[in-house]
């Protein structure tokens, strides 16, 4: 049996807009293994969140997936869908009804802005209770007890008081803990955290990350962490996928990636992180700007900004190559960039 929990294979997706098609994802591939933390990094607009929404089947109506597979290896989901036999489920082929047996149960989401991800009109206990009722069929007194247990598990105290509160009465960090409690309520096998700490105070970010790491460590849940914060990546993730303009350009073990990044974009990204030990007169940056996804560059999407680019990069899309165990890169000229 494969140790992969989720395999995203060559997914391409575009949005229909009034001005034309926006090719948001173009051949996104990566896999997430059981119990690991996989980080997806990249700039704003590179398709990280869209990838998460594709996995969950929550793309807006104007989006359409043109190719690819999202294979989910989860026996509980197979049972819930009354599928017989082994093998993965292709999430892109599930109906909306079937997705209800997946969302919040087998794959849960933690979103970017905790204070706006809770319905302002309902008490915390009602919002968590709703999940318990829908997915685990418990309500009444039992649900109340479970709500308190969950709130305690995310270290929200006093739980009885928090349960009775409305979202606007809680801080951002507290709201995020509630969202985490809700996400973990039905012990999903994959947790997707989309920039879970971006809108929080720096002092609270570490706490939330630690809490998430601790909670999933005990439960063999895998975590897909979407972030643009390389410090967060270095801190908590096992493996990293780097995204640029709708495609994955490098996937590696976190140590390997930070020690010797190969793809020119990854190298630029890491070089752009200011360091306190090496003060420079000028900050490093990647020349040029992120391409307009309505008219993405042909071939390798990074070629207009890449100093290694040659004719071949303009014409042909590079394939993913394994440069060593646990280190893959999508570049025609990776050999020139090897350490």
Query: Which of 21, 43, 69, 130 contacts another protein by CB under 8 A?
Result: 130
Q: Does 109 bind another protein (CB under 8 A)?
A: yes
Q: Does 335 bind another protein (CB under 8 A)?
A: no
Q: Does 138 bind another protein (CB under 8 A)?
A: no
Edge-to-edge, what's the strand order for the sheet holding 63-72?
20-33, 4-17, 63-72, 89-90
Count other C-beta atoms under 10 Å from residue 204's C-beta.
Answer: 16
Residue 39 vs 56, nearer CB to another protein: 56
Structure tokens at 214: 């601790």
- What distance in Å separates the CA atoms of residue 30 and residue 10, rounded to the nearest whole number? 8
Q: Does 226 bind another protein (CB under 8 A)?
A: no
Q: How far is the CB of 43 from another protein (least distance, A)?
A: 21
Which range in 27-35, 93-101, 218-226, 263-271 contacts another protein by CB under 8 A?
93-101
Q: Does 137 bind another protein (CB under 8 A)?
A: no
Q: Does 119 bind another protein (CB under 8 A)?
A: yes
Query: Which of 2, 3, 64, 116 contacts another protein by CB under 8 A?
Result: 116
Query: Which of 4, 35, 78, 166 contacts another protein by CB under 8 A?
Result: 166
Sequence-ordered strand ranges (E) for the chain: 4-17, 20-33, 37-41, 63-72, 89-90, 107-110, 190-194, 222-227, 239-244, 247-253, 320-324, 327-330
Q: Measure Cα distances from 138 to 50, 102, 145, 274 in Å.
A: 33, 18, 10, 50
For another protein (CB under 8 A), the number of binding residues is 30
SS (H, E, C) 265-324: HHHHHHHCCCCCCCCCCCCCCCCCCCCCCCCCCCCCCCHHHCCCCCHHHHHCCCCEEEEE
Q: Does 25 bind another protein (CB under 8 A)?
A: no
Q: Does 134 bind another protein (CB under 8 A)?
A: yes
Residue 100 vs 271, nearer CB to another protein: 100
Q: Contact at 8 Å (CB) between 56 and 103?
A: yes
- What distance in Å separates the CA atoms of residue 302 and residue 304, rounded to the nearest whole number? 6
Structure tokens at 159: 């739980």
Q: Does 136 bind another protein (CB under 8 A)?
A: no
Which range in 100-108, 216-224, 234-242, 280-288 contacts another protein by CB under 8 A?
100-108
Q: How buried is 40 (Cβ within 10 angstroms: 0-12 exposed, 13-18 middle, 19+ buried)? A: buried
42-71 residues in contact with another protein (CB under 8 A) are 56, 58
Query: Which of 121, 231, 298, 338 contacts another protein by CB under 8 A?
Result: 121
263-302 residues in contact with another protein (CB under 8 A) are none
Q: Does 120 bind another protein (CB under 8 A)?
A: yes
Question: Where do contacts with another protein occur on this chain (CB under 8 A)?
Answer: 56, 58, 96, 100-105, 108-109, 111-113, 116-122, 130-131, 134-135, 166, 168, 179, 182-183
């Amino acid at each position: 049996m494969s140790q992969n929990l989720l395999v995203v294979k060559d997914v391409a997706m575009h949005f229909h807009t009034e001005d034309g098609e926006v090719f948001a994802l173009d051949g996104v591939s990566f896999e997430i293994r059981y119990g690991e933390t996989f980080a997806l990094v990249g700039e704003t607009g590179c398709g990280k969140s869209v990838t998460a929404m594709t996995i969950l089947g929550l793309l807006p109506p104007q989006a359409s997936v043109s190719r690819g597979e999202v294979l989910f290896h989860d026996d509980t989901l197979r049972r819930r869908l009354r599928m017989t036999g082994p093998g993965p489920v292709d999430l892109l082929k599930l109906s909306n009804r079937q997705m209800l047996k997946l969302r919040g149960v087998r794959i849960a989401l933690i979103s970017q802005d905790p204070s706006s991800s809770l319905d302002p009109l309902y008490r915390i206990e009602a919002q968590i209770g709703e999940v318990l009722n829908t997915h685990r069929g418990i309500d009444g007194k039992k649900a109340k007890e479970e709500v308190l247990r969950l709130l305690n598990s995310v270290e929200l105290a006093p739980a009885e008081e928090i349960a009775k509160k409305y979202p606007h009465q809680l801080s951002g960090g507290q709201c995020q803990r509630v969202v985490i409690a809700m996400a973990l309520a039905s012990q999903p096998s994959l947790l997707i955290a989309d920039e879970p700490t971006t809108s929080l105070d720096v002092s609270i970010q570490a706490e939330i990350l630690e809490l998430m790491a601790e909670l999933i460590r005990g439960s063999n849940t895998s975590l897909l962490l979407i972030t643009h914060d390389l410090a967060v990546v270095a801190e908590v993730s096992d493996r990293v996928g780097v995204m640029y303009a709708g495609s994955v350009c490098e996937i590696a073990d976190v140590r390997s990636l930070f020690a010797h990044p190969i793809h020119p974009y990854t190298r630029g990204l890491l070089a752009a992180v200011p360091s306190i030990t090496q003060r420079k007169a000028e900050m490093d940056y990647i020349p040029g700007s992120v391409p307009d996804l309505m008219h993405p560059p042909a071939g390798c999407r990074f070629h207009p900004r890449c100093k290694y680019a040659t004719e071949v990069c303009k014409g042909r899309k590079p394939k993913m190559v394994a440069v060593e165990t646990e280190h893959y890169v999508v570049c025609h000229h990776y050999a020139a960039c090897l350490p």
